Amino acid sequence: MTEVVLEKKMRNMLVVLLFLGWAVGNLDRYLMNYAIVYIGDDLSLTNTETGMVLSSFFLGYALMQMPGGILADRFGAKRILLFAVIIWSIFTGLTAVAWTLGIMLVIRFLFGIGEGGFQPAASKIITTYYPENERSKVMSIMLSSSSIMSMLVPIISAVLLVTIGWRAIFVIAAIIGVIIVVLYWKVVPSDKVAQETDEAPRVKEIVGKLVKMPFMWSLVVSYFTIYAVNWGLNSWIPTYLSNVRNLDLLSIGGWQVIPGVIMLIAMFLSGYFIDKLDLKVSKVIGAVFALLLAVFLLLMFNATSIGLFITYQCIVMFLMTFVILLLPSFILKKIPAEYAGTAMGMANTGGQLAGFVTPTLIGMMVDAFDGSYNAAVWMLVIISIICVISILSITQRKQNVGGTA
């Protein structure tokens, strides 16, 4: 599928649909971070087992990144988007009926498999239908739905978890997913139209070339490190604030709105400036921000008051958001549209493996150190420093894949 820039009205409609789809996917992810407080009580989970539940989604999600990208490049983005939303809606609903740890782990793993194809397919849509100077902005709009969910879910959770319970919430999320499926089916351009003049990419050749690129491995490591910090914080901050800072769920929900707003602002600003700046300049900014991230993580967890904790968390979210948006920009602007899905899948595999490893590892550390989060914090600090090095190693030249400039 070569680049086919659509008329502005259709491009605007597509970005709205990508925004809504990513919002629903993140609704479930963030809900689990708050629902796990109640799920842990219902299923009598230890901190390590809680981490396993939070991580199981990411194992399935990570394993599906490369296949999702390959399938999007081979069969078209629309089919993979539909597959992703249908599967994740099914297993979001099934989360409501899990009654043992083992069943919960299987359901969350399969939910991750379903959602894993979404971002590679969405990236292919962006590189195919949008001009290069709009792609980071479009990605920022799509990813901003995650920021909005991080802002809304604490409030939603605080109200609904204590009224209708965690099982009913997941049923509602599944129903919303079904609505998204219908919208995608009706509006997203047909894969057949997009592919009818193109020869399907040679999968083995393209994957072989990508895995030999230092450019791609620098991105994989960068994705892993920044998402290790991102999902380590998102997964455990609600539990940390409850157990260490002694806040109730309503208070946690209220406080977490503030960093959610900052993350949303950072997402829009980052997309705008990354499209305006040369990637060389953005790369240096990203490396500096990753270094500052390590500093403010330490300040945040050593804050003497909850107000100071939230202040530092806002700074952490701002710094982290810029880096999270910078990394896919290298693929959106340096990889040809024909192979963008596979490339995004490969890079994002690193990020989602971090989502699988980090929550469980933090849970094990907290158990090992009798409820102390100090070791986990230092782990995130070290990972942030590794992120600095990996970002600086990313090259900026246009990548030649399969003979395409």
Dihedral angle, C-alpha 330, 331, 336, 341, nearest 10 °: -170
Asked whether residue 403 is assigned to any structural domain, the reply reads no
- pLDDT score recorded for residue 132: 79
What is the spatial distance between Cα 46 and Cα 268, in angstroms, rounded to a whole number? 38
What is the spatial distance between Cα 54 and Cα 59, in angstroms, rounded to a whole number? 10
Asked whether residue 114 is assigned to any structural domain, the reply reads yes
- pLDDT score recorded for residue 134: 82
- For residues 272 and 140, the answer to whether their CB atoms sit within 8 Å is yes
Tell me the pLDDT of the chain (405 aa) as tens digits: 455 556 778 888 898 999 999 898 888 878 887 888 788 888 888 888 888 887 888 888 888 888 888 888 788 888 899 999 999 899 988 988 888 899 989 998 998 898 888 888 888 888 888 887 788 888 888 888 887 887 788 778 878 887 888 889 889 989 999 999 999 998 888 765 444 444 445 667 778 888 888 899 999 999 999 999 998 998 888 889 988 998 887 788 788 888 888 988 888 888 888 888 888 899 999 999 999 999 999 999 999 999 999 999 999 999 999 999 899 888 888 887 777 778 888 888 888 888 888 888 998 899 899 889 999 999 999 999 999 999 999 986 666 665 443
Asked whether residue 400 is assigned to any structural domain, the reply reads no
Asked whether residue 401 is assigned to any structural domain, the reply reads no
Asked whether residue 336 is assigned to any structural domain, the reply reads yes
Asked whether residue 398 is assigned to any structural domain, the reply reads no
Q: Look at the chain and report how many structural domains it folds into.
A: 1
Q: How many CA atoms lie within 13 A of 153 on its CB side?
A: 28
Kindly report the CATH number assigned to the domain that includes residue 142: 1.20.1250.20
Q: At what angle do helices 249-276 and 279-301 cross, to 10 degrees?
A: 160
Q: Domain range for residue 366? A: 8-392
Asked whether residue 405 is assigned to any structural domain, the reply reads no
- Taking residue 262's Cβ as centre, other Cβ atoms within 10 Å add up to 22
Dihedral angle, C-alpha 105, 380, 327, 273, nearest 10 °: 120
**Contacts (Cβ under 8 Å, ≥6 apart) of 140:** 267, 268, 270, 271, 272, 274, 325
Asked whether residue 338 is assigned to any structural domain, the reply reads yes
Q: What is the pTM of this model?
A: 0.74
